[in-house]
Every structure is written in C-alpha cells, then in structure tokens.
C-alpha cells in the first residue's frame, strides 16, 4: 500500500508552509494542529466558529498550506490524531463509563474486529506476494522495532527462521545501528512502528535505505516516517478502546505475509517444513508424559 499524498509532509507538521502565513493566520492553524482530535470531526463552518473567524478565511488558510479542499485537511487531521495519540486519548472521551466492565470488553473485541475488517478490505494482496518473493531473494533480512512493536518483530523473525531464512531482529538502538550499517542492495529491511514512529526504528530504516536495502514498513498512519522511507508500506490500524494499542491487524498482516512466504517457491518450502515436522514430532523440546 502506497502512502497518501501529503506532499511529503512530516508527522510533526513542520513541513507545512506555516511560516509563510501572516502571524494571525499562523496562530490559527497551529491551534488546529495542536488539537487535531478536537477539529477532525468538525465541519468547516463549525471549526471556523470555534476559532472565531469566518469559514471563507479558514478555507483560504487551509488552501495556503497545500490542501485543495477542507475535506483533504480533515483527512490529514485524522492521520495526525492517530500519529500523536497517547494512552489517555482512548479513555478520556469514552461514552461507556457507566457500562459494565464486561460491556467494555465487548467494545474492545468489536474494535479489534473492525481493525481486521479494514485490513481485509484495503490490503493489496499483490504487494504481500511481492514482499514474500523479495524475502526469498534477499541475502539477509533485518527486522527493526522497539517498545511494544518488538512482539510483532519477534514473531516475524521467529517464523522466518522456521522457514530457513537468514533473518535477524534488532530491538535496541545499538543493535539497529550496527546491523543496519552492514545492509546492502542484496538485503531486505522490515520496520514496524506505530504513531509518529519510534526514533530508533525510523533511523534504522533510513540507514537501510541509504545502504540500498529493499525497505518494508508497517504502521497505523500514512503520516508515519516509515511510509516515506519504505519501498512498500502496509497500513494496519491499531485503534483501541483502552490504553494499549491493538496489534490484531498487525499480527494478521504478518501471518498473511508468512503464509505467502510459505506458498511461493513451494517445493523449497515443503522440503524445509518436512524437517520442521520431524522435530515437532520427536524433538527434545516437547514434553513427554513421565519424562
């Protein structure tokens, strides 16, 4: 999936030509950018009223910073609100505070299901197959992540190892720096980071790109720096109803990618998985009653 056209604007908004505006208009647009969740659902007229200006003036300001329509600006605010969300954002505006904990659990499951539905509807499966083939062709595969996304990176690395690929996972700044330094055009880098993007993960993918590696990124917003650095970018919603990001869609995408990896070059993979099956039947790792 390719990133939407935001004219190369970074997630922090510094790429917007705000400094070219008159001081008063500059302050107006900064108020909106500082509170994207407040304005994202408001119409042009409602936003203008909240800012105590007329709608025509607000539209001209929005157009001056590069958006043809106010709707386009609202889409930018939507992605910006995701990129800058915090653990409290999903809890504070809740309308279900009087609901039982059981009902809130149901809401959480419903949200996960919606994230999966979005992935299923929007995923370009051809690109998944393309990345699977890139993985087969790569000399080395480096997976970079950090914080909670480390669980996704570890899952991907473990299962690539099962298929016999030369993969490594880097989860700390030092690991990422040293491993990315040695990548080349024969290699593939896969970066996972949500929201604005963790600095170490973005830096790792940037280094991999500079060294010529094929770069794959995964995040929950097109405003992620990974979207601009990656040759192939996947969007997986992490929307949630509590403090913790939902990684259901992210895990599902990785499962789909691994399924594709096992399905392309099938003869090679069947040979590998036969040996895996032998270990699963009789390997020392598995518990035997009475042992």
Which residues lie across from 143 on neighbouring strands? 169, 190
Query: Tokens standing for 30?
Result: 């900064």
Among 14-23, 100-109, 248-257, top mean pLDDT goes to 248-257
Task: Read off the pLDDT of residues 128-169 as tens digits, 9 standing for 90 and up.
Answer: 999 999 999 999 999 999 999 999 999 999 999 999 999 999
The predicted structure's pLDDT at residue 11: 37
* Alpha carbon of residue 55 to chain centroid: 34
The predicted structure's pLDDT at residue 90: 61
185 CB-near residues (< 8 Å, 6+ apart):
211, 212, 213, 214
Report the predicted TM-score, pTM, of the whole model to 2 decimal places: 0.75
CB 136 within 8 A of CB 264: yes
Cβ burial of 284 (10 Å; 0-12, 13-18, 19+) is exposed
CA 85/CA 153 separation, integer angstroms: 22
Q: If you average pLDDT over residues 93-104, what whole number do you get?
A: 69
Task: Read off the pLDDT of residues 158-178 as tens digits, 9 standing for 90 and up.
Answer: 999 999 999 999 999 999 999
Task: Read off the pLDDT of residues 33-68 as tens digits, 9 standing for 90 and up.
Answer: 888 888 888 899 999 999 899 999 999 999 998 888
Q: If you average pLDDT over residues 250-264, what whole number do you get?
A: 96
Task: Read off the pLDDT of residues 179-218 as tens digits, 9 standing for 90 and up.
Answer: 999 999 999 999 999 988 899 999 999 999 999 999 999 9
Helix axes 248-263, 150-162, angle to 10 degrees: 20
pLDDT, the chain, mean: 87
Of 100 and 203, the structure prediction assigns the larger pLDDT to 203
Tell me the pLDDT band of 15, cut-offs 50, 70 and 90: low
Structural domains present in the chain: 18-83 (1.10.10), 116-282 (3.40.50.10490)
* Alpha carbon of residue 270 to chain centroid: 31
265 CB-near residues (< 8 Å, 6+ apart):
136
3-state secondary structure of 116: helix
Of 204 and 75, the structure prediction assigns the larger pLDDT to 204
CA angle 64, 69, 74 (to 5 degrees): 100
CA nearest 183: which of 196, 198, 170, 197? 170
CA 93/CA 79 separation, integer angstroms: 18
């Amino acid at each position: 999936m390719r990133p939407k056209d935001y004219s190369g604007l970074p997630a922090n908004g510094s790429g917007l030509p705000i400094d070219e505006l008159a001081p008063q208009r500059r302050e107006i647009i900064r108020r909106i950018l500082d509170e994207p969740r407040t304005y994202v659902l408001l119409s042009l007229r409602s936003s203008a009223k909240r800012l105590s200006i007329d709608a025509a003036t607000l539209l001209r300001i929005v157009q001056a910073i590069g958006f043809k329509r106010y709707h386009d600006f609202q889409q930018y605010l939507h992605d910006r609100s995701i990129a800058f969300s915090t653990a409290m954002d999903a809890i504070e505006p809740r309308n279900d505070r009087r609901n039982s904990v059981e009902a809130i659990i149901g809401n959480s499951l419903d949200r996960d299901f919606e994230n999966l539905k979005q992935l299923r509807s929007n995923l370009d499966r051809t690109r998944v197959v393309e990345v699977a083939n890139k993985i087969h062709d790569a000399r080395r595969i480096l997976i970079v992540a950090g914080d909670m996304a480390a669980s996704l990176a570890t899952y991907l690395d473990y299962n690539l190892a099962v298929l016999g690929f030369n993969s490594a996972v880097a989860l700390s700044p030092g690991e990422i720096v040293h491993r990315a330094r040695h990548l080349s055009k024969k290699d593939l880098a896969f970066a996972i980071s949500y929201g604005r993007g963790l600095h170490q993960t973005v830096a790792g993918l940037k280094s991999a790109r500079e060294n010529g590696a094929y770069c794959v990124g995964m995040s929950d917003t097109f405003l992620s720096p990974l979207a601009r650095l990656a040759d192939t970018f996947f969007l997986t919603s992490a929307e949630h109803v509590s403090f913790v990001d939902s990684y259901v869609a992210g895990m599902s995408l990785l499962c789909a990618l691994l399924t594709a990896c096992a399905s392309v070059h099938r003869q090679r993979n069947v040979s590998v998985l036969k040996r895996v099956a032998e270990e699963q039947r009789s390997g020392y790792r598995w518990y035997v009653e009475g042992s």
